[in-house]
Structure 1
Amino acid sequence: MKFTTILFVFSLSILSTATAQLNISPDALNYFNEAFKQVKTQSFKRKELDFKHLYNQSLEQMKGAKTYRDTYPAIRYLLAALQDNHSFFTPPPANGASIISQLSSKPGGIPFSASIIDGHYGLLVLKSYNSIDNADQHRIADSLYAALHQMQQQHVKGLIIDFTKMEGGSTLPFLCGFAPLIHQTVLLGYKDNKGHRTQIVQYKNGIYHKHRNKTTRLCYLTNYTPLESLPIAIVTGKYTASAGEMILISFLGLPNVKTFGEPTLGVPTGKTSIFLADSAFISLASSTTYDRNKNDYVTAIQPDVAFELTHLSEQELYAIAINWLNEITVGHP
Structure 2
Amino acid sequence: MKKILILLCICSLSFCLNAQKVKTSQDSIKVFYDKLLVMLKSDYLLRKDVDWKAVGDETNQNLTKYSNFKSSLKETEVLFGKIGATHCKVFYQNKAYGTTVKASTENLSVQWKEKFATKPGFEVKALNGNIGYILMPNVTFLDFSPENVHKIAQSMYDQIADFKAKNKTEGWILDLRFNTGGNSSAMLLALYDLLGDNDIWGTVDRNKKQNSKVKLEKGNYLSNSKKSSYINPKGELLDKAKVAVITGLLTASSGEVTALAFKGRPNTILIGEPTFGMTTSNVDIGLPFDTMLLLSVAYDSDRYGNYYEKVLPDIAVSKQDNFNDLLADKNIQEAIGFISKK
Aligned residue number for residue 301 of structure 2 = 290
Aligned residue number for residue 142 of structure 1 = 154
Distance 2:198 2:129 in 1: 32
2:214 to 177, 189, 200: 200
Distance 1:304 1:196 in 2: 24
AA of the residue aligned to 1:186: D
Aligned residue number for residue 122 of structure 1 = 132
Task: Give the 3 Å change call, closer, same or farther, for CA 171–51 of structure 1 in structure 2.
Answer: same
AA of the residue aligned to 1:183: G
Alpha-carbon contact 1:162-1:234 (below 8 Å) kept: yes
Aligned-residue offset at 1:250: 0.6
Task: Give the 3 Å change call, closer, same or farther, for CA 188–317 of structure 1 in structure 2.
Answer: farther
Unmatched segments (≥5 aa) in structure 2? 1-24, 98-119
Distance 1:69 1:48 in 2: 29
TM-score (norm 2): 0.73
Aligned-residue offset at 1:190: 2.3
Aligned-residue offset at 1:291: 1.0
Q: Spell out, residue by residue over 1:39-81, the C-alpha distance to the aligned partner (whole angstroms, 9 max, x if none).
A: 2212111123322332233234224556534643433211122
Are 2:43 and 1:42 equivalent residues in the alignment?
yes
Alignment size in residue pairs: 289
Unmatched segments (≥5 aa) in structure 1? 1-23, 100-109
Aligned residue number for residue 322 of structure 2 = 313
Task: Give the 3 Å change call, closer, same or farther, for CA 269–228 of structure 1 in structure 2.
Answer: closer
Aligned residue number for residue 199 of structure 2 = 186
Task: Give the 3 Å change call, closer, same or farther, for CA 313–50 of structure 1 in structure 2.
Answer: same
Where 1:189 maps in the other structure, the secondary structure is strand
Aligned-residue offset at 1:281: 3.3
Alpha-carbon contact 2:246-2:331 (below 8 Å) kept: no
Alpha-carbon contact 1:149-1:227 (below 8 Å) kept: no
1:221 to 214, 232, 235: 232
Task: Give the 3 Å change call, closer, same or farther, for CA 305–54 of structure 1 in structure 2.
Answer: farther
Aligned residue number for residue 104 of structure 2 = none
Alpha-carbon contact 1:176-1:219 (below 8 Å) kept: yes
Where 2:37 maps in the other structure, the secondary structure is helix
Task: Give the 3 Å change call, closer, same or farther, for CA 68–319 of structure 1 in structure 2.
Answer: closer
Aligned residue number for residue 168 of structure 1 = 181
Aligned-residue offset at 1:163: 0.6
Aligned-residue offset at 1:268: 2.3
Q: CA RMSD in A?
A: 3.0
AA of the residue aligned to 2:187: F
Alpha-carbon contact 1:89-1:281 (below 8 Å) kept: yes
Q: Spell out, residue by residue over 1:216-249, the C-alpha distance to the aligned partner (whole angstroms, 9 max, x if none).
A: 3421325353226222111111221111111111
Distance 1:123 1:58 in 2: 49
Aligned residue number for residue 85 of structure 1 = 86
Q: Mapping of 1:252-271 within 5 angstroms?
A: 252-271=263-282
Distance 2:130 2:315 in 1: 22
Counting aligned pairs with the same residue, the percent is 19
Task: Give the 3 Å change call, closer, same or farther, for CA 271–217 of structure 1 in structure 2.
Answer: closer
Distance 2:220 2:288 in 1: 35
Task: Give the 3 Å change call, closer, same or farther, for CA 74–139 of structure 1 in structure 2.
Answer: closer
Q: Spell out, residue by residue over 1:13-40, the C-alpha distance to the aligned partner (whole angstroms, 9 max, x if none).
A: xxxxxxxxxxx96654343221111122
AA of the residue aligned to 2:260: I
